[in-house]
Each structure stands twice: as C-alpha cells, then as structure tokens.
Amino acid sequence: MPEAENVSIAIVGSGGAGALTAGNLLLEAASMAGWHGLLTRTVGPQIRGGEAAALVRLASRPVECLADRFDLLIGIDWLNANRFGAEIEVGPNSLVITDPSSGDLPLLVSRAGARVVEVPIKEVAKTIHEGRPNMVALGLATSLLGLSEDLLSTVIGKRLAEKGQTAIDASRAGLKAGIAAAAGLDLGMHLAAPKPCAAQRWFVSGNETTGLGAIRGGIRFAAAYPITPASEILEWLAPNLPKVGGVLFQAEDELAAINMIIGASFGGTPAMTATSGPGLALMIEALGLATAAEIPIVVVDVMRAGPSTGIPTKSEQADLNIAVYGLHGDAPHLVLGSQSIADCLFTTQWAVHLAEALQAPAIVLSDQFIGQAVAVIDRPADIAFIGQRAAALPQAGVYKRYAISAGGVSPMAIPGMRGGQYTADGLTHNELGTPTSSENDHRAQLDKRRAKLEQFAYGDHWATIEGDGELAVVTWGSLTGAAREAIEQVHGDGLNVRLIAPRLLFPIQSERFTAALDGIKRILVVEQSHSGQFHRYLRAHYDLPEDVRVLSRPGPLPIRPSEIRQAIMQWRS
C-alpha cells in the first residue's frame, strides 16, 4: 500500500456534542507530532445546540485547502447532517463510524458506498463519570491515525484547563475509552510518518495572523463593530493591542468605527478596523473622506457570501467590486487580497506600510475561509514593512498640507506640531486645504492622489507568480492555495501551468501583468463569485490573451483543487 501523505477526517455532531472541540484538539495534537494540517468548521445557523462538523486535513507538508474526500467520518450523531452533504464527501475507501443509537445513516453516507462500522460512542461515554461523546470520537480518531495518547492527553490538559480538573480527567478517560473502542478497526491507509520539521511552526487562524500583521505594521488604534466572520480579529486585538501601547475600541456601529479610525489617524496613530461585506458597505462614504483628505487607514473585509446579509458563516469572493469601485466620485485607493492564512500576516502588514506611505486608505480583502480556518503553518518570515508616513516638520512660512510635488505624497502635519495647523476636509481643496471649486485645483488634487499611487514602487509583492507553461491559472485570495494544489497535481501528469494571483488589486499593475503573461496563450480564471467579478475586473484593466475560460461560482462551497484540475485537463490541447 502506498504511503499516504494526506488524510482527512470529519467529525459530525449536534446539540453541544463538541465536534468542533474534538477537531481542534486533534489538529493541535497532530501538529505536535509533526503533521501540518488545516481545520475548518461548518455549522447550522443556531448559536448553540446546532449541528456542527469539524473538517480536518492532515498532511506532511503545509496545505492551504481541504481535500476532495474524507478518509474517516465519525458521526457522534446524524441530526441534520445532510445539511453538510455537499461539503463532506466520502467514497468507497472511506471509513464511516456510526453510533447504532443514531438510527439511519444520512444520505451523504448511504449514497457513497463507504465502509460503515458501528461503535456505541454515546454508551461508552456514559460509562465515564462526566464523560462526553466527543472525547470518545477523538479517541477513535487518535487510534486510527496512529497518534499517541500522551500527545492528546497533553493537549486536552492545556486546552481544557479552564474547565477544571474534573473535565480534564473525564476527557482523558473518554479519550482512552475511544482508543480502546478502535481496537480492530483499520483505516485502510498507511500514513507516512510526518517529517521532522526544522522550521518553527504556528497553529493559527487567518484572522489571528491578520491581527498580528496589523500590529507588526504599526497599527496601534482599532475601532470596530462586531460582525461574522471578522470578530475573531477584534477578539485577538483586544488584549494584544494594549500590550504594545495601543487600544481596541468597540464602536456603536460601522459608521462610527470607520470615522473613529480616521480621527485617530489624523491624530498621528496608525489605525484600522475589520468587518465583512455589510459593514464595508456602511463604511464606503468615510473611505471616500479618507481618500480625499489623504488620511491613511486600513480596513480589513473578511468576505462572506452575499449579497445583503447573505450567508454569514460561508466564504465568497464577491466584495471585489465594492472594494475597488464602490466609492463615489473618482477616489483611487489601495486594495489588496490576502492569499492564505500565512499570507494574511504579510498582506495586512504590507497594507499598513502602503497606507501610511501613501496617505491613503487600504482595503484588505480576506475571506471567511482563511479567516476562520485554523492551520499548522511554517512560521512566516519576518518582513521589514512598517508603516511610516512622511511627517511634516516645523518650518517657516505657510504650511501646505496638500502641496503638489513629484511623487504625489505631501508631508502630513500632526496635531501638536506648531505651524502645521490645517483643516482636513472632504470638500475639494487647494494645496492649503482650503475648500475650492476651481477646475485647476480639483484637477491638480485628483492628479496628485492618482499619481502618488501609480508612481510607488510596489516591488514583486504585487502578485504571486509561479511556474511556466502555455496556460496560466489566474485567481486571487484564498483560491490561490487551491489553484496551486491543482497545478501541482497536473504537473504530476506532465502538464506545466503557471499561477498568477495578484495580491495588489488596486492600483492596477498593467505592465507587470503583461510581463507575467509572457509566453502564456490561454488563461483560466478561477474565482468564487456568481457574476464573475474578478473576470470582469481583469478584462477592464488588463490585456488578456484571446483564449479565456472562467471557472466561477458563488459560495457556500469552496472550489476544490480537483475542480480546477478538471477544468485544466479539459482544456488540454
């Protein structure tokens, strides 16, 4: 039997069964054993007691998306489990463990022809004082994956510490019982031992790396209104900003949040907020103010399925339009897209640097998938990008806040600086900041704000460009990982494909994109939106080859590497 470098496990349960906790503990323990991996969750709409599934992928190298199929599916119960039908695929080689007391198997199992084994999970849990079925399920998984009980025991002790010793003991007992119940069961896979890892690794979510990237970039003030799936950014920043001399401030709504960060930035403190689509929509007016008054701010949009309230717990890539084009008037500003959990750190930190250097708002598009997924990643390299704005120095004579100059960036006075007094304004203004309706001033300031963005040297970070071939997959955001995996798969079949994924979505880098297309005859655009926003964006701003195909669909289901692979293979010629 060939060694498998990947294994995928799903744990399903409802009504407080604790499936998600089990998944988390499993991944963390596996990571301590040297595995890389990724965990996402899928849940019903209830706040408590709903159906939930932990979806885990373990691999011997870093992975950025889930696999197509689950090798092991443990059902603590199957209540409403068909909700997950499209996301949890099992096949004839998969092992499904079901509790006989759960009754009929759900369609997602019965249609698949998988191997089904019965283990009385709930009964076993009942034999333990304060025992919980999710720990029994965890024990089953532990044994089948060849993980050590000690490792799981350690992780349980660490993560359940706040629940008290009784809970820890009961959990460990449940774990042990689950391991025992797995005796005689066989996953049917020979798992490769994880390679010893020299690099330091992190166990972290995209929302957390976003927060860390912001702080590293220099953010010291955040104001925000909670919204799914961005709230974890705020939850991480709340205790961590004060440690570095900053503060997180909860606002009464998104209109307040965006204006608060503009006020703080005007006062000289790099500032940010985090939200999702509905919140970004509310912030649009103030983003225009920050653009016109040339005040740096960072707004992270963790995209979710839209439009309107949409599906708050599911990912999509359909806020590109509003991020790039949503401001009224001509208001060019920075837009970036984070490409993975690790990349959330880089892209957010870079965004702070760019916003401060260019005195402009930067919208960072992340999404629910990378925001809330937890992964084991190699520690990202330190990068030197720190936000630093051109500060005005005390000078003789009248201070021109919006002085026209070669690079377009005018030094910014901060309250406290004598002689630097000016009134920041959304009204069209002259070099002094005084409101005007003159066509020369209006044009001059529009030119200035465009020039400063266009003339900046962004370097190679503007996009991820990998590989060679005649076909390029062009994508962005969290689909970069799925595209990369698909390309690796077809490479194994002898086909070379290039990957092009812009990280800097605005300002447009036409020349560089053209250079990236050198030798490319056909492109496959891959995106998660109903109307093909990214495809239209590419057509609007870039020169594309004649042969373009588009693989686009809206959320809630992620686009899998196998789908991209299939699209590539169908287009071989």
| Binds other proteins (CB under 8 A): choice among 263, 312, 467, 532 | 263
Give me the amino acid identity at 501: A
The residue (of 218 and 332) whose beta carbon lies closer to other proteins is 218
Q: Which of residues 459-518 bind other proteins (CB under 8 A)?
A: none
Rg (CA), the chain: 26
Residue span binding other proteins (CB under 8 A) among the ranges 14-22, 37-45, 220-228, 531-539: 220-228
Strand segments, DSSP code E, in 14-111 are 36-43, 52-59, 70-75, 90-98
The residue (of 185 and 282) whose beta carbon lies closer to other proteins is 282
By the 10 Å C-beta count (0-12 exposed, 13-18 middle, 19+ buried), 151 is classed as middle
- CB–CB of 328/289 below 8 Å? no
Is residue 424 close enough to count as binding other proteins by CB under 8 A? yes
One DSSP character per residue, 235-280 reads: HHHHHHHHHTT-EEEE-SSHHHHHHHHHHHHHTT--EEEEE-HHHH
Q: Which two tokens stand for residue 314?
A: 């599911």
In the numeric block, the tokens 């998104």 are attached to 254
Cβ at position 392, least distance to other proteins in Å:
12
Residue span binding other proteins (CB under 8 A) among the ranges 85-93, 198-206, 519-527, 530-538: 198-206
The residue (of 413 and 504) whose beta carbon lies closer to other proteins is 413
| Binding mask of the shown chain, residues 128 to 167, with x at each position contacting other proteins by CB under 8 A | ----------------------------------------
- CB–CB of 510/536 below 8 Å? no
Give me the amino acid identity at 13: G
| Binds other proteins (CB under 8 A): choice among 44, 50, 120, 426 | 426
The residue (of 425 and 563) whose beta carbon lies closer to other proteins is 425
The residue (of 40 and 205) whose beta carbon lies closer to other proteins is 205
Q: Which of residues 399-418 bind other proteins (CB under 8 A)?
A: 413, 415-418
Q: Which two tokens stand for residue 446?
A: 């529009």
Q: Which two tokens stand for residue 517?
A: 């297309």
In 329-417, where does DSSP find H-type helix? 341-358, 368-372
Give me the amino acid identity at 261: I
Is residue 23 close enough to count as binding other proteins by CB under 8 A? no
| Binds other proteins (CB under 8 A): choice among 15, 44, 268, 467 | 268
Count of C-beta atoms within a 10 Å radius of residue 56:
26
Cβ at position 426, least distance to other proteins in Å:
6
Cβ at position 117, least distance to other proteins in Å:
32
Residue span binding other proteins (CB under 8 A) among the ranges 105-113, 119-127, 207-215, 443-451: 207-215
Cβ at position 413, least distance to other proteins in Å:
8
DSSP 3: E
Cβ at position 203, least distance to other proteins in Å:
5
The residue (of 285 and 466) whose beta carbon lies closer to other proteins is 285
Q: Which two tokens stand for residue 464?
A: 């991820």
- CB–CB of 387/217 below 8 Å? yes
Cα(509)–Cα(362) distance, integer angstroms: 16
Cβ at position 195, least distance to other proteins in Å:
15
The residue (of 202 and 476) whose beta carbon lies closer to other proteins is 202
Cα(541)–Cα(270) distance, integer angstroms: 31
- CB–CB of 247/221 below 8 Å? yes
Give the total of residues touching other proteins (CB under 8 A).
67
Residue span binding other proteins (CB under 8 A) among the ranges 137-145, 280-288, 355-363, 510-518: 280-288
Cα(503)–Cα(510) distance, integer angstroms: 14
The residue (of 293 and 544) whose beta carbon lies closer to other proteins is 293
**Strand bridging mode 36-43 / 52-59:** antiparallel
The residue (of 11 and 215) whose beta carbon lies closer to other proteins is 215
Cβ at position 143, least distance to other proteins in Å:
23
Is residue 203 close enough to count as binding other proteins by CB under 8 A? yes
Residue span binding other proteins (CB under 8 A) among the ranges 156-164, 195-203, 224-232, 451-459: 195-203
- CB–CB of 195/376 below 8 Å? no
The residue (of 124 and 286) whose beta carbon lies closer to other proteins is 286
Give me the amino acid identity at 538: L
Cα(171)–Cα(41) distance, integer angstroms: 21
| Binding mask of the shown chain, residues 321 to 360, with x at each position contacting other proteins by CB under 8 A | ----------------------------------------
Cβ at position 346, least distance to other proteins in Å:
14
| Binding mask of the shown chain, residues 231 to 260, with x at each position contacting other proteins by CB under 8 A | -----x---x-xxxxxx-x-xxx-xxxxxx
**Mutual orientation of helices 277-292 and 254-266 as an angle, nearest 10°?**
30
- Closest residue by Cα to residue 170 from 427, 178, 293: 178
Give me the amino acid identity at 369: F
Cβ at position 129, least distance to other proteins in Å:
32
Q: Which of residues 431-460 bind other proteins (CB under 8 A)?
A: 433-435
Cα(389)–Cα(198) distance, integer angstroms: 38
- Closest residue by Cα to residue 346 from 476, 534, 206, 501: 206
Binding site for other proteins (CB under 8 A): 31-32, 200-204, 208-209, 212, 215-216, 220-221, 223, 236, 240, 242-247, 249, 251-253, 255-269, 271, 285-286, 288-289, 293, 376, 379, 413, 415-427, 433-435
